[in-house]
Amino acid sequence: MKEDLHIHSALSPCADDDMLPTNIVRMALLNGLTRIAVCDHNSVANQIALKQAADKFGLNYGFGVELQTLEEVHVLGYFETVEDILKMDEWLCEVSDPAPNRIDLFGNQWIVDQDDTLIKQHSGSLIRSLNASLNQCVSRIHACHGKAVLAHVLGRSNGIIHQLAFIPKNLAIDGIEVNEIGQKQELIEKFPWLANVPFFLNSDAHRLIDLRDADETDWLDDWEILWRKRE
Amino acid sequence: MNITEICARSGWEILTKSEDHAVEGIFTGDLLSWVMGHAPVGSLWITVQAHANIVAVASLRDLAGIVIAHDVNIEQETIELANTEGVCLIKAPQSSADCVKILAGYGL
C-alpha cells in the first residue's frame, strides 16, 4: 500500500499555513497515495476535519498525533476511532504546557474545518514538551487503544537515538519510523529485538510538495500491518 | 571528594544503595547520545534527563554518579535499574548550572 502516515497540518506551528485538509487530501490523491495520517505536534484538534475531508474524496485516513515527551523524544500515536482521539485530547489538555504560542517566533497553529476554513489559533504553545515521560506517553496511547511508533528514530532532532542514545529493550513500542529505507537494517543490526516490529517510511511533510508519491520506489510497512490486520 | 561527602554538604538526596565513589570531575549534558560519547570516566554527570537509559550511559562511561537536577520526576524504573547496575543516582532541587556552581565551590 502506498501510504504516508506522518504529515503535519497547519495546526503544527512549523508547518505551512496551506497544509489544510482539502489541500492535503487532494495532494495525496494527486500523488497516488492510498492512505494518509496527519500527526500534528501534541494536539488532535484538526483530526476530525482531516478525516471528513479524506472521506469526502474517498481517501483512507488514520487518526494520528506526534507527541513530544519530557525527554524531547518524538513519538507518534495512531488511533482508529473518534472516541479514542477524544480520550487522547482530554489527556493532552492535562499534560500540555499552558504557555501561549508566540506566533512571531514559532508560526501559526490553525484549527480548521473540513472545507479549509480557518476557525481559530490553538492558544497553547505546541512546540513545547508535554509534561509526560516517554513511558507515560506510550502507556497513554495504549490506554486510548492506539499504536505507538517512534518517530524519525535516527533523525538529528528529537529522534530517540539522539535524545536517549539507544532504544530500550523494554519499551512497548508498536513501530519504528525511519527517514530512509537503509536505516531499517542498520537499526535491526544494533537492536535485534526490533526484527519483528513494523517499520514505516513517511514524509514528515510540513509542506504540500513534500508528501510521499506513489512513484517512489522505497516502501516499508503500512497501516494494516501496524494494526496486525495483515501479516 | 566522594559522593557521600558531596551529598552531606549539599543536602542532595542519594536515591540508590550503590557503594561510594570518588568524584574526579563534573560533566553536564541532556543529550544522551552526546554524553555517551564525551563524558570523562569518574565524572559526576548532571542532567535533567531521568529516563532509565541514563543508567546505561553512566555505566558505559564508568561515571561516578548521576545528579538529576531541578527536581525532575524520576520514574521508579530508573531507580531500580540504577540499583541493579550499581549506578549512584542523586536528586537535586537546583538547576544544572547551580549544581555546577555548588560543586565548583567544593573545589571540583
**A9-52 pLDDT tens trace:** 999 999 999 999 999 999 999 999 999 999 999 999 999 999 99
Task: Find out whether A26 and A114 touch, Cβ atoms under 8 Å.
Answer: no
Residue whose C-alpha cell is 571528594: B1
Predicted local confidence at residue A80, as pLDDT: 98
Residue A63 Cα distances to A5, A45, A220, B15, angstroms: 9, 11, 19, 41
Cβ–Cβ gap A166/B50 under 8 Å: no
Which of A143, A42, A49 is closest to A89 using CA atoms? A42
C-alpha angle A107/A108/A110, rounded to 5°? 155
Cβ–Cβ gap A161/B33 under 8 Å: yes
- Give A160 to chain B, closest Cα distance, Å: 9
Predicted local confidence at residue A69, as pLDDT: 97
B63 and A CB contact within 8 Å: no
Q: What letter would DSSP give residue A219? A: -
Which residues on adjacent β-strands are paired with residue A177?
Answer: A200
Contacts across the A-B interface (CB distance below 8 Å): 36
B32 and A CB contact within 8 Å: yes
pLDDT in tens, chain B (108 residues): 999 999 999 999 999 998 899 999 999 999 999 999 999 999 999 999 999 999 999 999 999 999 999 999 999 999 999 999 999 999 999 999 999 999 999 999
Contact list in A for residue B81 (CB cut-off 8 A) is none
Contact list in B for residue A138 (CB cut-off 8 A) is none
Residues in A 180-219 with any Cβ partner in B closer than 8 A: none
The edge-to-edge listing of strands for the beta sheet with B13-14 is: B13-14, B89-91, B65-68, B43-47, B25-28
Which of A47, A48, A51 is closest to A59 using CA atoms? A51
User: By 3-state DSSP, what share of chain B in percent is helix, strand and coil, each rounded to 5?
Assistant: 40, 20, 40
- The reply to whether the predicted model has a pTM over 0.90 is yes
pLDDT at A219 over 90: yes
B49 and A CB contact within 8 Å: yes
* A167 pLDDT tier (thresholds 50, 70, 90): very high
Predicted local confidence at residue B103, as pLDDT: 97
Mean pLDDT rounded to a whole number for chain A:
96
Amino acid at A193: W
Contact list in A for residue B31 (CB cut-off 8 A) is 162-163
For A22-178, list the strands marked E by DSSP: 35-41, 60-68, 74-79, 110-112, 118-121, 147-150, 175-178
A75 vs A64: CA distance, rounded Å: 10
The H or E element spanning position A4 is strand A3-7
**A190-215 pLDDT tens trace:** 999 999 999 999 999 999 999 999 99
Predicted local confidence at residue A229, as pLDDT: 85
Which of B95, B96, B92, B97 is closest to B9 using CA atoms? B92
B71 and A CB contact within 8 Å: no
Cβ–Cβ gap A163/B32 under 8 Å: yes
B52 and A CB contact within 8 Å: yes
